[in-house]
Chains A and B, each alone.
Chain A
Amino acid sequence: MYDVHTHRAETNVDDIKISANDVQVYYGDTHAIKDVSIEIEAKCVTAFIGPSGCGKSTFLRCLNRMNDTIDICRVEGQILLDEEDIYDKRVDPVQLRAKVGMVFQKPNPFPKSIYDNIAYGPRIHGLANSKADLDVIVEKSLRRGAIWDEVKDRLHAPGTGLSGGQQQRLCIARAVATEPEVLLMDEPCSALDPIATAQVEELIDELRQDYSVVIVTHSMQQAARVSQKTAFFHLGNLVEFGETGKIFTNPEDPRTESYITGRIG
Chain B
Amino acid sequence: MTDASIHSPASGGKSSLLALDARTKRRNAAEARFRMYGISAVAAGVFFLVVLLGAILSNGVGAFQQTFLTVEVYLDPAKLDKKGQRDIADIKKVSTFGYTPLVQQGLFDQIEANGIETPLAKRKDMKALISASAAAQVRDFVIANPDRIGDKVEFRVLTSSRVDGYLKGRVTRESVARDKNIKPVHLDLVDSFTDLGIIKKEFNWSFITGADASESRAEQAGMGVSILGSFFMTLVVLALALPIGVAASIYLEEFAPQNRFTDLIEVNISNLAAVPSIVFGILGLAVFIQFAHLPQSAPLVGGLVLTLMTLPTIIISTRASLKSVPPSIRDAALGIGASKMQAVFHHVLPLAMPGILTGTIIGLAQALGETAPLLLIGMVGYIATNYPEGIASGFMDPNSAMPAQIYEWAKRADPAYYERAWGGIIILLVFLLTMNIIAIILRRRFERRW
B334-357 interface with A by 8 A CB criterion = 334-339, 342, 346-347, 351
Rounded to whole angstroms, the CA-CA distance of A109 and B351 in the bound complex is 13
Please state if B450 and A125 are interface contacts (CB–CB under 8 Å).
no
| Cβ of B258 under 8 Å from chain A | yes
Is B275 interfacial (CB 8 A cutoff)? no
How many residues of A sit at the interface, in one of the four size bands?
A: 20 to 34
| Given contacts A104-B331, A111-B450, A120-B346, A178 and B337 within 8 Å (CB-CB) | yes
A75-120 contacts to B (CB < 8 Å)? 94-98, 101-104, 106, 108-112, 120
* Residue from B258, B329, B338, B351 in contact with A108 in the complex, judged by beta carbons closer than 8 Å: B329
B340 to chain A, nearest CB (A): 8
Q: In the complex, A212→B337 CA distance in Å?
A: 18
- Interface flags, A59-82, vs B, CB<8A=1, else 0: 000001010010110000000000
Chain A positions within 8 Å of B330 at CB level? 69
B450–A158 touching, CB < 8 Å: yes
User: Judging by beta carbons under 8 Å apart, are A175 and B336 in contact?
Assistant: yes
Are A111's CB and B335's CB within 8 A?
no
Give complex CA distance A11, B197 in Å: 102
Contact A175 B329 (CB under 8 A): no
- Selected contact of A95 from candidates B257, B333, B337, B346, CB within 8 Å: B337
Contact B337 A97 (CB under 8 A): yes
Verify A124–B332 contact, CB threshold 8 A: no
Taking CB atoms, residues of chain B closer than 8 Å to A110 are: 329, 332-333, 347
Q: Which residue of B has the minimal Cβ distance to A99? A: B337
Shortest distance between the CB of A126 and any CB in chain B (Å): 11
Cβ of A121 < 8 Å from any Cβ of B?
Answer: yes
Contact of A124 with B258 at beta-carbon distance under 8 Å, contacts A108-B332, A109-B332 already known: no
| Contact indicator A121/B332 (Cβ below 8 Å) | no
B residues in contact with A104, CB < 8 Å: 328, 331-332, 335
Once the chains bind, are A160 and B336 in contact (CB under 8 Å)? no
Give chain B nearest CB distance to A209 CB in angstroms: 21
Asked, given contacts A71-B258, A104-B328, A171-B332, whether A124 binds B450 with beta carbons under 8 Å apart, the answer is no
Query: In the bound complex, how far is the Cα of B329 from the Cα of A69, in angstroms?
Result: 13
Q: How far is the CB of A103 from chain B (nearest CB, A)?
A: 8
Q: Which residue of A lies closest to B328 (CB)?
A: A108
A160–B450 contact, CB under 8 A? yes
Taking CB atoms, residues of chain B closer than 8 Å to A175 are: 335-336
Among B335, B342, B346, point to the contact of A66 (Cβ < 8 A): B335
| Structural contact, A94 and B337, CB atoms closer than 8 A | yes
Please judge, given known A-B contacts A69-B330, A71-B257, A160-B450, whether A111 and B351 are in contact too, CB under 8 Å: yes
Q: How many A-B pairs with Cβ below 8 Å?
A: 69
CB distance from B449 to the nearest CB of A (A): 8
Q: Is residue A43 within 8 Å, beta carbon to beta carbon, of the partner chain?
A: no
Query: In the complex the two chains form, is A69's CB within 8 Å of B334's CB?
Result: yes
Given contact pairs A71-B258, A110-B347, A111-B351, A97 touches B331 in the complex (Cβ within 8 A): no
B332 touches A101 (CB 8 A): no
Q: A120-B346, A124-B342 are in contact. Are A98 and B336 (CB under 8 A)?
A: yes
A208 within 8 A of B: no
Q: Are A124 and B338 in contact, with the CB atoms below 8 A?
A: yes
Residues of B within 8 A of A109 (CB): 332
Beta-carbon contact of B332 and A97 below 8 Å: no
Q: A110-B347, A111-B351, A111-B450 are in contact. Are A94 and B332 (CB under 8 A)?
A: no
- Which residue of chain A has its CB nearest to the CB of B337? A98
- Chain B residues positioned under 8 Å from A125 (CB to CB): 337
Chain A residues with CB below 8 A from B346, complex form = 120, 124
In the complex, which residues of chain A have a beta carbon less than 8 angstroms from the beta carbon of B329?
Answer: 108, 110-111
- Provide the B297-338 mask, 1 if CB < 8 A to any CB of A, else 0: 000000000000000000000000000001011111111111
B336 lies within 8 A of A120 (CB):
yes
The answer to whether the Cβ of A174 comes within 8 Å of any Cβ in the partner chain is yes
| CB-based contact A174/B336 at 8 Å | yes
With a cutoff of 8 Å between Cβ atoms, the chain A residues found around residue B347 in the complex are 110
Docked CA distance A130–B330 (Å) = 27
What 0/1 readout, one digit per residue, does chain B (159-177) give for beta carbons within 8 Å of chain A? Answer: 0000000000000000000
Give bound CA distance, A191 to B135, whole Å: 82
Nearest chain A CB to B346 CB, angstrom units: 7
B110 to chain A, nearest CB (A): 72
Partner of B337, one of A108, A112, A124, A171: A124
Taking CB as reference atom, which chain A residue is nearest B256?
A71
Contact of A121 among B257, B328, B337 (CB under 8 A): B337
From 112 to 152 in chain A, residues with beta carbon under 8 angstroms from any chain B beta carbon are: 112, 120-121, 124-125
A104–B337 CA distance with the chains assembled, in angstroms: 14
For A101, give its contact among B331, B336, B342, B450 (CB under 8 Å): B336
- List B contacts of A108 (CB < 8 A): 326, 328-329, 331-332
Closest to A108 in B: B328
Q: Write the A169-192 contact mask toward B (1 if CB under 8 angstroms, else 0).
A: 001001101100000000000000
Shortest Cβ gap from B144 to chain A (Å): 61
- Using Cβ atoms and an 8 Å threshold, which residues of chain B touch A111? 329, 351, 450
User: How far apart are the CA atoms of A100 and B220 in the complex, in Å?
Assistant: 74
Contacts of B257 in A (CB 8 A): 71
Tell me the bound Cα distance from A104 to B335 in angstroms. Answer: 9
Q: How distant is B335 from chain A, measured CB to nearest CB, in Å?
A: 4
> Which residue on B lies nearest to A161, using beta carbons?
B450
Q: How far is the CA of A253 from the CA of B346 in the complex (A)?
A: 48
CA of A142 to CA of B336 in the docked complex: distance in angstroms? 15
| Cβ-closest 7 pairs across A and B | A98-B337, A102-B335, A108-B328, A97-B337, A111-B450, A121-B336, A108-B332
8 sampled A-B residue pairs with Cβ under 8 A: A69-B334, A71-B257, A94-B338, A97-B335, A106-B328, A108-B332, A111-B329, A177-B336
Given contacts A101-B335, A124-B346, A174-B336, 14 further A-B contacts (CB under 8 A): A66-B334, A72-B258, A95-B337, A97-B337, A98-B336, A102-B336, A106-B328, A108-B332, A111-B351, A111-B450, A120-B336, A124-B337, A124-B342, A160-B450
- B residues near A (Cβ < 8 Å) are 257-258, 326, 328-339, 342, 346-347, 351, 450
